[in-house]
Chain A
Amino acid sequence: MKVLVTGAGGFLGTHVVERLLAHGYTDIRCLLRDRSKTARLLAVSESYPAAQLEFCYGNLRSPSVCAQAVADVSLVVHLVAGMKGAAAELFADSVVASRNLLDALEARDGIPMAQTRVVLVSSFGVYGVASLRRGTRIDESTPLEAHPELRDTYSHSKLRQEQLFWEYRQKNGFELVVLRPGVIYGPGGGAFSNRVGLQIGPLFFHLGGNNLLPLSYVVNCAEAIALAAAHSDSAGQVYNVHDDVLPTASSYLREYKRHVRKIRSIRLPYFATRILAGLLERYHRRSQGQLPGILTRYKAAAAWGGNWFDNRKLHALGWSPLVSTPDAMARTFEYLRQKDAKLP
């Protein structure tokens, strides 16, 4: 079976390729935007003598790249998404690119759609958590965001991307598996999710307090994706992906300060964040956007409202973390410490 991994050169992608190889997939086509990532994937494949990696270069915004990428593949693991930049870029990279990929799958000859499986890596951002009560447990039955326009554009674009996949699945009948990771972290990733707080100028505003962080160590997340891709029961299912032992935002920040570097942070309790968000929202409206509306009460509730998380459905597939949370955090902080030491 030939597998296509889109975004194979990314932070998560390299680990997904490795876990797919570990699960016995040998014939993998890696779609990369950046040719320089090829060597890293070849290095990963060296531990798997049967591995046959094939490389396809380009951007999924191009229909011709999509057509080339999907030829003869029975399993597509779709990781590509816009992570940062202007809203139009996020939608182009996450939604337009996905639509092109799905159109290419639909248009190709050979493997019927019913025999094609698509694994989409979505996001926790698609859940409509802003209106939930503090402490609500988030699982796969939590309603999706009803007002994506009030959220950050990343979450909005990811929701639209996922909706698109369900629409095409309804139309074409392929097997769709959706994974919704929380905050993916690890060596190669960033230091802080917004769930911990926001860096504004020289100060770090610690807004997450004692909320649980739905962290997913990149290796554990990749294992979940590979497992769901392979499992016969996963078709048509959604899985939340996060680790078992979750730190709080404050403990994560404390460990970061201890192991990586000292940063100046100010802790704002949730009620103060809500008041500040309300004031900024009002000022944003009254001043017609003189200061950007990055902090609103709705966004504050979504990011720092405080939820519990449930990954029992993922466990039912047979998943368990390959790396424990203390090990994962230690590896991540060591990477961040070394990265920080290299800065001028």
Chain B
Amino acid sequence: MSLKAVIVGCGKIADAHVEELKKIPSAQLCAVCDLEPIMAEQLAVRYGVPRWYSDVAKLLAEEKPDVVHITTPPQSHLALTRVAVAAGCHVFLEKPVALRHRDAEAIVAAVVAGGRKLAVNYWPRFEAPALELRRLYETGVLGDPVHIESSYGYDLAGDFGMALRRDPNHWVRQMPGKLFQNVLDHVINRITPFLADEQPFIHAVAYCGDTSADQSRPDALLDELRVLIRGEHTSAYATFSANARPIGQTLRVYGTRNTAFADFGARTVVLERKQTFPSALGRLFPPFLVAKDYLRQGLKNVNSFSHARFHFFDGMRRLLGDFYSSIENDTPPPLDYAEILRVTSIMERIFDQVYPEVQR
């Protein structure tokens, strides 16, 4: 069975949806849509998508899709989800889920009430290192999580960052959590699988680390964020940095048995085990053991590359595959709705602290 897919919102991230949808055998992209017809047209022409629209109601009426990918800014996610569900469609939603936690709850409620399925594009959760970390946790290798460190580097000189910097009215600036809200899903959703608490203690600090930025300008952005999260048995530390170099994304999970470290850029996961050599030998051998671990990871990456499983959005392909499969087989979607809402709740509490002046 082939599921008909459409994309609503033809900005930068829509390219990734088109690219990854092409790799899902059960999905067929039949149309794209954007309020701005030129944007819809350019996406359709560049990727050879058969049809394009600038009216979502017309799109849904004429295409009768099974799945709607919503890749618009989050300001419109709730309204579009309701329209898509009313048309009988499943929803694949780009992050951030919504402007506010209560809107995220309403999105989930709309999908559940309509008997449809929802997935949020938490693709880094489905990257090979993230899956490996979860395997280590679920098979007991790590023991119980004691502390998690999730670190996320961001390049404000990159394609996405430049678009934001150049435009003082960019939609990212209109969100309650501004720049942080556009990326923090990926920082927090790497922590939540190891943190059971619904309402952990949160302490967040943000500041501008770019010394060349004019802080008197109304469009000045905070670009450094540190968050301490404390649950009943587990704590976590989240770092967002737009100034630290090199730019990287890492996750370290300290367990009661072992500690694991994942580098999402290099796509490696190494286990930091208790060393068993006596005395000075215990300080001599560990670097070689670590080197051996990294060599093994390197060979694994070579294998992935040779089998063409080393794409930038490989996690998204995996997530999409699982989502479309859950629709076909009527099985639970790949992301638990309660966990999605836990992420949006934690994010909102962080933004309350770093932008207390923003009305909610």
Residues of chain B in range 198-235 having any CB-CB distance to chain A below 8 Å: none
A158 to chain B, nearest CB (A): 12
Q: Which of A85-93, A218-226, A267-275, A299-307 contacts B (4 or more CB under 8 A)?
A: A85-93
CB pair B42–A87 under 8 Å, yes or no, is: yes
CB pair B308–A153 under 8 Å, yes or no, is: no
A314 to chain B, nearest CB (A): 30
Q: Which of B14, B38, B47 contacts A96 (CB 8 A)?
A: B38
Known: A88-B11, A89-B163. A96 touches B39 (CB 8 A): yes
CB pair B38–A99 under 8 Å, yes or no, is: yes
CB pair A96–B36 under 8 Å, yes or no, is: yes
Residues of chain B in range 255-270 having any CB-CB distance to chain A below 8 Å: none
Considering the chains assembled together, what is the distance between the CA atoms of A92 and B11 in angstroms? 9
CB pair B38–A91 under 8 Å, yes or no, is: yes
Q: Looking across the interface, which residue of chain B has its beta carbon closest to that of A95?
A: B38
Dominant SS among interface residues on chain A: helix
Considering the chains assembled together, what is the distance between the CA atoms of A147 and B308 in angstroms? 28
Total of A-B residue pairs, C-beta within 8 Å: 64
Contacts of A33 in B (CB 8 A): 166
A302 to chain B, nearest CB (A): 16
Considering the chains assembled together, what is the distance between the CA atoms of A33 and B12 in angstroms? 21
Contacts of A156 in B (CB 8 A): 42, 45-46
Known: A85-B162, A89-B163, A96-B38. A149 touches B45 (CB 8 A): yes
Q: Which of A59, A96, A99, A157 contacts B166 (CB 8 A)?
A: A59
Q: Is A61 interfacial (CB 8 A cutoff)?
A: yes
CB pair A149–B23 under 8 Å, yes or no, is: no
Q: Is B277 interfacial (CB 8 A cutoff)?
A: no
Q: Which of B167, B169, B308, B310 contacts A286 (CB 8 A)?
A: B308
Contacts of A85 in B (CB 8 A): 159, 162-163
CB pair A149–B48 under 8 Å, yes or no, is: yes
Considering the chains assembled together, what is the distance between the CA atoms of A88 and B162 in angstroms? 13
Contacts of A59 in B (CB 8 A): 166-167, 169
CB pair B38–A88 under 8 Å, yes or no, is: no
CB pair B42–A91 under 8 Å, yes or no, is: yes
CB pair A157–B42 under 8 Å, yes or no, is: yes
Contacts of B19 in A (CB 8 A): 289
Q: Is A287 interfacial (CB 8 A cutoff)?
A: yes
CB pair A290–B38 under 8 Å, yes or no, is: no
Contacts of B43 in A (CB 8 A): 88
Q: Is A208 interfacial (CB 8 A cutoff)?
A: no
Q: Is B55 interfacial (CB 8 A cutoff)?
A: no
Q: Looking across the interface, which residue of chain B has its beta carbon closest to that of A92?
A: B39
Considering the chains assembled together, what is the distance between the CA atoms of A162 and B39 in angstroms? 16
Q: Is A288 interfacial (CB 8 A cutoff)?
A: yes
Residues of chain A in range 60-117 having any CB-CB distance to chain B below 8 Å: 61-62, 85-89, 91-92, 95-96, 99
Considering the chains assembled together, what is the distance between the CA atoms of A91 and B38 in angstroms? 8
A183 to chain B, nearest CB (A): 23
Q: Is A148 interfacial (CB 8 A cutoff)?
A: yes
Cross-chain pairs A/B with CB under 8 angstroms, 25 sampled: A59-B169, A85-B162, A86-B12, A87-B12, A87-B42, A88-B12, A88-B15, A88-B43, A89-B12, A91-B42, A95-B38, A96-B36, A96-B39, A148-B45, A156-B45, A156-B46, A157-B42, A160-B42, A286-B308, A287-B308, A288-B22, A288-B23, A289-B19, A290-B305, A290-B308
User: Chain B residues in contact with chain A, CB under 8 A?
Assistant: 10-12, 14-15, 19, 22-23, 36, 38-39, 42-43, 45-48, 159-160, 162-163, 166-167, 169, 305, 308, 310-311
User: Chain A residues in contact with chain B, CB under 8 A?
Assistant: 33, 59, 61-62, 85-89, 91-92, 95-96, 99, 148-149, 153, 156-157, 160, 286-290
**12 extra interface residue pairs, beta carbon distance < 8 Å, beyond A33-B166, A288-B23, A290-B310:** A59-B166, A59-B167, A59-B169, A88-B14, A89-B12, A89-B163, A91-B38, A92-B39, A95-B42, A96-B38, A153-B46, A156-B46
